[in-house]
Amino acid sequence: MKREDFQASATGSLVPTERGQWAFVPIPLPPAMLDHARLSKPLSETAEAIGELNGIGRTIPNPYLLIRPLQRREVISSSSMEGTFTTVDALVLAEASDGDRSTPDTREVLNYMEALSAAIASLDKLPLSLRTLRDAHATLLRQVRRDRGANVRPGEFKQHQNYIGAYEIEKARFVPPPPREALECLDALERYIHRDEDGLDTLIDAALIHYQFETIHPFADGNGRVGRMLIILHLYMRRKLIQPLLYLSPVFEARKDEYIDRMMAVSRDGDWEGWIVFFLNVMRDSARQAIVLADNIGALQKNYRERLQRARNSANLLLAVEYLFERPAITVTSLMNRLGVSYPAAKAYVDVLLRENILVEVPGTSNPKLFLAPEIMKIISGSQD
Q: How does DSSP classify residue 146?
A: G
Compute CA distances 135 → 106, 144, 331, whole Å. Answer: 20, 15, 30
Q: Check residue 366 and give its pLDDT.
A: 85
Burial tier of 146 (Cβ tally within 10 Å: 0-12, 13-18, 19+) = exposed
| pLDDT of amino acid 367 | 84
Strand 371-372 relative to strand 360-361: parallel, antiparallel, unpaired? antiparallel
pLDDT tens for residues 17-58?
Answer: 999 999 999 999 999 889 999 999 999 999 999 999 999 999
The one-letter amino acid code at 213 reads: F
What H or E segment, with its residue span, contains residue 329? strand 329-330
Q: For residues 230 and 224, give the distance between their C-alpha atoms in angstroms, rounded to a whole number.
A: 10
Domain ranges of the chain: 3-291, 311-381
Positive or negative torsion for Cα 134, 137, 143, 147 = negative
Mean pLDDT calculated for residue range 304-324: 86
Closest CA to 371 of 357, 381, 385: 357
d(CA 381, CA 73): 7
- Region 242-260 average pLDDT: 97
DSSP 8-state code for residue 218: -
The amino acid present at 367, given as its one-letter code, is: N
CB 155 within 8 A of CB 138: yes
Rounded distance between C-alpha atoms, residue 287 and residue 52, angstroms: 8
- Sign, CA dihedral 143-144-145-148, equals negative
CB contact at 8 A, 219 and 158: yes
d(CA 372, CA 328): 6
**pLDDT, tens digit (0-9, with 9 covering 90-100), for 341-371:** 999 999 999 999 999 999 999 998 888 899 9
Number of continuous H segments (helices) and E segments (strands) in the chain: 16, 5
Q: CA 268 from chain center: how many Å?
A: 27
Q: Which of 119, 163, 110 is nearest to 137 (CA)?
A: 119
| CA 12 to mean position of chain CA atoms | 28
Q: Would you say domain 311-381 falls under CATH 1.10.760.10?
A: no
d(CA 80, CA 109): 9
- Taking residue 152's Cβ as centre, other Cβ atoms within 10 Å add up to 17
Give residues with Cβ within 8 angstroms of 117, minimum separation 6.
Answer: 71
pLDDT of residue 310: 72
Mean pLDDT of the chain: 93
99 pLDDT above the threshold of 70: no
Rounded to a whole number of angstroms, the distance between the first and last alpha carbons of the chain is 41
Distance CA 318, CA 328 (A): 14
- What DSSP assignment string belongs to 242-270? SSS----HHHHHHTHHHHHHHHHHHHHH-
**Does residue 242 carry a pLDDT above 80?**
yes
What whole-number distance in Å separates Cα of residue 12 and Cα of residue 23? Answer: 10
Region of poorest pLDDT, from 142-146, 216-220, 263-267, 318-322:
142-146
C-alpha Rg value of the chain to the nearest Å: 23
**Would you state the pLDDT for residue 149?**
47
Residue 156: Cβ-neighbour burial (10 angstroms; 0-12, 13-18, 19+): middle
For CA atoms 322, 328, 332, 338, the dihedral sign is negative
Overall average pLDDT of the 268-285 stretch: 98
Measured distance CA(308)–CA(300) in Å, rounded = 12
User: HEC string of 351-370?
Assistant: HHHHHCCCCEECCCCCCCCC
Average pLDDT over residues 311-316: 76
The mean pLDDT value for 133-156 works out to 81
Q: Any idea which fold 3-291 has? A: Fic-like fold (1.10.3290)
Q: Which of 293, 283, 287 is nearest to 380 (CA)?
A: 293
In the prediction, which pLDDT does 140 show?
96
- pLDDT value, residue 336: 97
